[in-house]
Each structure stands twice: as C-alpha cells, then as structure tokens.
C-alpha cells in the first residue's frame, strides 16, 4: 500500500514505533514449523566450543587421509560399498531426480551426526580443509530493540520517512530468506557436512528493502579459500546439486566464474533471487558491523534507503556496470555522518575494538550489535537537511583525487600508495580487510557520471526542497 501523501492523501502522523526486525521472525508464516523452530531455539546453547579436525571413517573403510597440498584426489569407493542403503541421508527437497550426492569427506562432522555411508562416486578434486569450521550452531535471534523513527516537520523529511516506511524490508521478507537459507544449508551439508551457510548483506545489515536480493556465504573453513580453484570447484558441486536434485525448488541456477565466483539462483517458493559465494568471510563480519551502525541512530536507516533509491534511479548503483555497489554507497553515507561538524555517528571499531575484531570466531560475530548502546548525538539536523548535505559533500567538498573514505577511522584519510589504489577514481576502504570496495569504478566516463549526478541532484533538491525533483516517489515505491 502506498503512503498517503505520496498518493495525494493527507500525510500520516509519525508517532509510531519501528522495531529492529532482524531478530523478530513470526513463526506463524510457514507450515513447516519444525524447520523454523529449530532455527530459533538455540539462545541458551553454549556457542564457544570449537572443533578440531578428526579423521573420518565410513564403516570398515580406512580413514580418509588429508593432504598438505591444495589439491588431492578423493578415494574411489570399494565394490562392496556400492549397495549401502541411503537411509542415512537426510533429504528435505523431495526432488524427482535421484542422482547421487557427492560427499566431501574432508570437512569433519561431529560424531553424533556423522554419516555412515561412503562417498557415492569419485571426485577428482577436493579442497584441502586443514582446519574445520566451529561446530554447527545456529546463530540465535536476539530480542528486538525498539527504534523510534525521527520526527518529520518539513515536507522533504516527511517524504523520506514515507519512502522508508513503504520500502523497508519487512519481517515476512526476511523470514522467507531465512527459511530458504535453513533448507539449503541442510542440502549443502549432504556434500560438505561441516559447512555452514550464512545470510549476509542487506538482508541482515538493516539496510534492506522489499526488493533486496538475498546474499549467502557458504563457509567450509575459516582460512582463506583460493577463489580461482577451490571456490570454483566447491560451487561447481553446489551448482550440480541444485540442477540435479533441487530443480523443483531452485530456478535458473547459474555458475558465474567471476573474480569472486558465485552461484546465482531463484527460490521458487519465496521468489527471491540469491547470490551464493564461498568463504567471503569479511562479508559476514561487515554485515554485523553495518547492522550496528544501522540501529545506532534513528536517522541512519531512512537516509541510507533514500540514497540507495536515488542512486539506483540514476543508474549509478551497479558495480557490474562500473558504478557504485550498494555496500560502497552505505559506507559513503556512514562516512558523511561521521565527518559532520557535530558527528551523528562515531567509529564503533575504535570505541569497541574487542567487539569487531577480525579474530572473533564467526559463530560469535552476531553478538557484536548487542554490545553497543545507541549513540546520542548533539546534531539535530532533520532528514531533509542531511540528504542535502550528503549530496553537497560529495559534489563539492570531498577530494576524490587524494582522499579515501574510511568508516574505520571516521574521517577521510590520504590514499595509500599500493597498486590497488592507483588509477582508481573512487577509494572506499573496506573496514575489515582494507581493500577498495569501489574498485569497480575504473572508467573515467562512469566516474564523471557519478560526480555529475551528485552535483545536479544537489542543485535541484536545494532549489525545490521536494524529493520528487531527484527521485520520482511513485516509481520508487512501485519498485519497493
């Protein structure tokens, strides 16, 4: 339903409460209650235990030997193993296809859940996983934090709030993605038993919209994975599994052999598009860092959403086409809010280094947002003024030639001399690994287009004080 004022009806009164919906998933939406209950009943579970690599045995077969080289050959099954029953295999999707499942022996599974059957056919290449992922634990969903939206006393701020109300991701949207993640994790564990599947990106970081795709990260080990060899092979197995066993549930699976390879697919049940990568662990960490910023101050989420909608409308929000990724845009907004004369946001990595250390185990990173209280800023600027200030800052004040955007430092810092930063038009520091999140902007024509849009939009909005002058609201709401 469209907001009232966007459709010409009297505007609503913003005396309402917004809830932190990431941790609130109503259990009544789906009939497969057991799956959902299993997702949320681990709040009293000890998550601190780690697992050490164990040798696996299958019946009377000798233990699987690991190798210190990045590649090694799997063991062919013995003749007397061919007719082992498949009742140990837990199958969720009742696919009509019955092709056998590849089992990656090298990822250890805890003893009580270890499968008794051998690998069903020979694999010629299996990543050497020398250290297992911590024991499988579902990340508990914590109690919601109540968030009051800022007041809107002027037309422009009112328009921003109404757009946010109409387009922000709903609890039901998140629940669909989480259910798909839960079920896909069970399927993928038939191939990689000790792996874990994380929902990451805008779906969880607080900046999602109703139309946001789902981003999934498959973690098979905590060490880095060679994206050209190991990750591609792992995704090849996952892609084959999707095509042969899950064709009734997964639509259009594609293996994209990019610098960071992914499997793209559409879930037929939820109608959500997903991108699945392997071991992009920094994506898990920055998801919860951004989530902390999202709920640190009540103006952050509405401002980020309207800027993402604006950038998308003007075709400067697509890294695959040489413009800005949504992640870079969010970091640019956070940086702007950190560098105001009276900052609206601090650097939480500086204030709470222990909560956002890269050394924290993955199954504990979700706790970080709970350790950070809301930030009380003395800056009382309304949403309209902040949007204008954001456009002006990047149109006229920020020095693109010599400065790098750093949310970690809460300021603009000099560009590094490394090769990754040379001949780059926009430099945005990734808060954990220090890489350039805006490296996709490598053509001067695209860079000029981005700068030009900042400048034109700033002038238009300054003169009109109407969001429609830079972003048609009806179109934005229809796209959600």
Q: Look at residue 465 and tell me if it is in a domain.
A: yes
Do 332 and 395 meet the contact criterion of CB atoms below 8 Å apart? no
Cα–Cα nearest to 306, from 173, 207, 426: 207
Residue 352 burial (10 A CB sphere; 0-12, 13-18, 19+) = middle
In this prediction, residue 338 carries a pLDDT of 98
In this prediction, residue 140 carries a pLDDT of 52
Q: Look at residue 455 and tell me if it is in a domain.
A: yes
In this prediction, residue 134 carries a pLDDT of 42
User: How many of the other CB atoms lie within 10 Å of CB of 124?
Assistant: 9
Q: Look at residue 287 and tell me if it is in a domain.
A: yes
Span 132-147, pLDDT tens digits: 344 444 555 444 456 7
In the predicted model, residues of the chain with pLDDT beneath 50 are 1-137, 141-144
In this prediction, residue 138 carries a pLDDT of 53
In this prediction, residue 145 carries a pLDDT of 57
Do 363 and 47 meet the contact criterion of CB atoms below 8 Å apart? yes
Q: Look at residue 208 and tell me if it is in a domain.
A: yes
Please state, in angstroms and rounded to a whole number, the distance separating the CA atoms of residues 148 and 230: 46
Q: Look at residue 14 and tell me if it is in a domain.
A: no
In this prediction, residue 139 carries a pLDDT of 56
Q: Look at residue 92 and tell me if it is in a domain.
A: no
**In the chain, how many domains are there?**
1
Please state, in angstroms and rounded to a whole number, the distance separating the CA atoms of residues 36 and 314: 39
Please state, in angstroms and rounded to a whole number, the distance separating the CA atoms of residues 189 and 196: 8
**Are β-strands 272-278 and 214-219 bridged in parallel, bridged antiparallel, or unpaired?**
parallel
Domain of 447? 155-478
Span 17-67, pLDDT tens digits: 444 433 333 333 333 444 444 444 433 333 333 333 333 332 333 333 333
Q: Look at residue 102 and tell me if it is in a domain.
A: no
In this prediction, residue 417 carries a pLDDT of 87
Do 441 and 322 meet the contact criterion of CB atoms below 8 Å apart? yes
Quick one: the chain helix, strand, coil %, rounded to 5? Answer: 35, 10, 50
Do 431 and 425 meet the contact criterion of CB atoms below 8 Å apart? no
**pTM strictly above 0.85:** no
Q: Look at residue 65 and tell me if it is in a domain.
A: no
Query: Residue 338's domain is classified under what CATH number?
Result: 1.10.1410.10
In this prediction, residue 370 carries a pLDDT of 87
Do 159 and 472 meet the contact criterion of CB atoms below 8 Å apart? no
Cα–Cα nearest to 81, from 58, 57, 104, 113: 58
């Amino acid at each position: 339903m469209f907001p009232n004022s966007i459709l010409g009806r009297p505007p609503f009164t913003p005396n309402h409460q917004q809830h932190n919906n990431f941790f609130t998933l109503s259990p009544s939406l789906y009939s497969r209650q057991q799956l959902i209950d299993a997702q949320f009943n681990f709040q009293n579970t000890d998550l601190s235990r780690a697992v050490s690599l164990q040798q696996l045995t299958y019946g009377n077969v000798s233990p699987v030997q690991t190798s210190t080289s990045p590649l090694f050959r799997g063991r062919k099954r013995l003749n007397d193993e061919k007719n082992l029953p498949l009742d140990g295999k837990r199958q969720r999707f009742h696919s009509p296809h019955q092709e056998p499942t590849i089992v990656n022996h090298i990822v250890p599974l805890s003893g009580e859940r270890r499968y008794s059957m051998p690998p069903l056919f020979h694999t010629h290449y299996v990543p050497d996983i020398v250290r297992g992922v911590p024991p499988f634990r579902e990340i508990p969903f914590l109690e919601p934090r109540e968030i009051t939206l800022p007041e809107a006393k002027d037309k422009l701020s009112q328009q921003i709030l109404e757009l946010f109300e109409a387009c922000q991701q709903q609890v039901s949207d998140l629940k669909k993605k989480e259910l798909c993640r839960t079920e896909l994790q069970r399927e993928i564990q038939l191939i990689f038993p000790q792996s874990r599947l994380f929902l990451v990106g805008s779906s969880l970081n607080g900046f999602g919209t109703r139309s946001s795709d789902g981003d999934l990260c498959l973690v098979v080990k905590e060490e880095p994975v060679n994206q050209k060899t190991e990750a591609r092979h792992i995704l090849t197995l996952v892609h084959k599994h999707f095509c042969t066993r899950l064709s009734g549930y997964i639509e259009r699976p594609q293996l994209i052999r990019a610098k960071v390879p992914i499997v793209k697919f559409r879930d037929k049940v939820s109608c959500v598009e997903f991108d699945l990568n392997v071991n992009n662990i920094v994506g898990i960490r920055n998801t919860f860092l951004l989530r902390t910023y999202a709920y640190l101050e009540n103006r952050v989420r509405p401002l980020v959403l309207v800027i993402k909608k604006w950038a998308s409308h003007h075709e400067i929000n697509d890294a695959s086409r040489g413009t800005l990724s949504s992640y870079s845009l969010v970091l640019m907004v956070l940086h702007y809010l950190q560098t105001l004369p009276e900052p609206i946001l601090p650097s939480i990595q500086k204030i709470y280094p222990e909560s956002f250390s890269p050394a924290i185990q993955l199954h504990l990173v979700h706790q970080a947002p709970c350790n950070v209280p809301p930030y009380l800023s003395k800056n009382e600027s309304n949403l309209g003024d902040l949007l204008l200030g954001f456009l002006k800052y990047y149109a006229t004040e920020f020095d693109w030639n010599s400065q790098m955007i750093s949310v970690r430092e809460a300021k603009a810092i000099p560009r590094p001399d490394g090769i990754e930063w040379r001949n780059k038009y926009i430099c945005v520091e990734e808060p954990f690994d220090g890489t350039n999140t805006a490296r996709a902007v490598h053509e001067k024509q695209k860079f000029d287009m981005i700068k030009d849009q900042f400048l034109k939009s700033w002038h238009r909005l300054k003169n009109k004080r109407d969001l429609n002058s830079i972003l048609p609201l009806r179109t934005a709401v229809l796209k959600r």
